[in-house]
Amino acid sequence: MKSRTFATMQLAIISFFMFADQNLMGPNMKLIGDEFGFVSEQDRYHYLGSLINLAFWIIGGSVSLFIGYFTDIVSRKKLFFLIVMVGEIPCLLSGFAVDYNQFFILRALTGIGIGGIIPITYSFLGDYFSSKERIKIVTLIGFASGLGVAIGQLTSGVLGETYGWRLPFIIFAVPNFILVSVFYLTTKNPVRGEMDLNIKKVDFNDFKDFKGLFKTKTNILVFLQGLFGTVPWAVFGTYMIDYLSSNLNYARDGSATFAITIVGGMAILSSLIGGFIGNKLYKKNPKYLPLFCGCTTIIGVIPTLLLINVPQNNVFLLYTYATLTGFFIAMTPPNMKVILMNVNNSHNRGKVFSLYNFSDDLGRGFGPFIIGSLLVSLFGSNIAFNVASMFWLFCGIIILFMVKTFPIEDSGGMQ
């Protein structure tokens, strides 16, 4: 018990610093653009938002598939150590890039870290905890990751104007070199399937490829909702601070950054509340879990649209809409991860979470590219961001289809 708790806390702290890197560019996009020669909004969105995000998440998603395959075969502890080390090196070096080409390559390679640790982390958790415990633990990891994104973004915005945009990349990369070394030296690989009762003996040929995962309808629905649901998250994380400051005249190092930090902070609280409610609903009836997630996601579209269209110089409305957006829209992610755990056995979790992460990364990568490069140039940023928010509507509708599939396929990871 103590060993798994200690290992889980280490995974949470490492996730905090790994995900803190995710939105470090957003608050300082104008500063970075000015240094690298991208002065206009369209150039900033294309070169710093669209292209870098596309490369970052496509590389991360591709690595996730590769790592997910080997997570189910080799030592997870060694693989985790390697991925964190390889992922944090380009994050650190991003703070020393001398031109755009270097910066682009380093940011793209940083995707290796986030893309790689997700399937390994949830493979660990699936073998540390039973199906009845997983929602609480997944919520903890989601809390740590979300807190990392919010704190990283806030720190970057606060430090950027005074100390420049480079320092945050260094600050959030260094700790994980130490933390992952401690993790490697103090933890053991859990026994695969230890927490999955009555699991059948699995032959290597049963899990050497990915195609069998698509026989589970709930898997397909979780992948699809992730593809749609990550588009607005990526767009807002990449562009929203710049949009609020450049288009609506909110202070870049004040109300604009703080508003998006509120979204992130409320999303953290929302994930905790969502995990708690989801756990209660799951115990009553598994179908209530996706019903709850689908409804809250759809409701969250309303304050999101209000936030995008907030009047200028009205900080009260800005913060109110930011609070409501973060509260409603983030109750789903921890519960989706638990649903995946519970419809897949221990020998497939690495692969299924790599596919889950890959579908998320496609949304995170192509979302800013399509919205930031194409729609902004054609219709302007306001219309483009309104379109992006509607992807959460489709995400919620897809989740509601799980009301039918999840109760049938839910087996506590024993199928």
Alpha-carbon distance 286 to 282, whole Å? 4
pTM of the entire predicted model: 0.73
What are 207-266's pLDDT values in tens digits? 456 677 888 899 999 999 998 998 888 888 778 888 888 888 888 767 888 898 898 889
pLDDT for 219 equals: 92
What are 138-156's pLDDT values in tens digits? 888 888 888 898 889 889 8
CATH number of the domain that residue 85 is part of = 1.20.1250.20
pLDDT for 205 equals: 47
Question: Which burial class, exposed, middle or buried, applies to 184 when counting CB atoms under 10 A from its CB (0-12, 13-18, 19+)?
Answer: middle
pLDDT for 194 equals: 64
pLDDT for 2 equals: 67
pLDDT for 195 equals: 62
| Domain membership flag for residue 294 | yes
Alpha-carbon distance 328 to 270, whole Å? 7
Domain residues for 200? 2-409
Residues of the chain with pLDDT under 50: 198-207, 412-415
- Report residue 285 CA to chain centroid gap: 27
| Domain membership flag for residue 218 | yes
8 A C-beta contact, residue 109 and residue 91: no
pLDDT for 256 equals: 87
| Domain membership flag for residue 415 | no
pLDDT for 370 equals: 79
| Domain membership flag for residue 414 | no
8 A C-beta contact, residue 293 and residue 335: yes
- When divided into structural domains, the chain yields a total of 1
Question: Quick one: three-class SS letters along the chain?
Answer: CHHHHHHHHHHHHHHHHHHHCCCCCHHHHHHHHHHHCCCCHHHHHHHHHHHHHHHHHHHHHHHHHHHHHHHCCCCHHHHHHHHHHHHHHHHHHHCCCCCHHHHHHHHHHHHHHHHHHHHHHHHHHHHHCCCCCHHHHHHHHHHHHHHHHHHHHHHHHHHHHHHCCCHHHHHHHHHHHHHHHHHHHHCCCCCCCCCCCCCCCCCHHHCCCCHHHHHCHHHHHHHHHHHHHHHHHHHHHHHHHHHHHHCCCCCHHHHHHHHHHHHHHHHHHHHHHHHHHHHHHHHHCCCHHHHHHHHHHHHHHHHHHHHHCCCCCCHHHHHHHHHHHHHHHCCCHHHHHHHHHHCCCCCCHHHHHHHHHHHHHHHHHHHHHHHHHHHHHHHCHHHHHHHHHCHHHHHHHHHHCHHHHHHHHCCCCCC
pLDDT for 253 equals: 66
pLDDT for 125 equals: 85
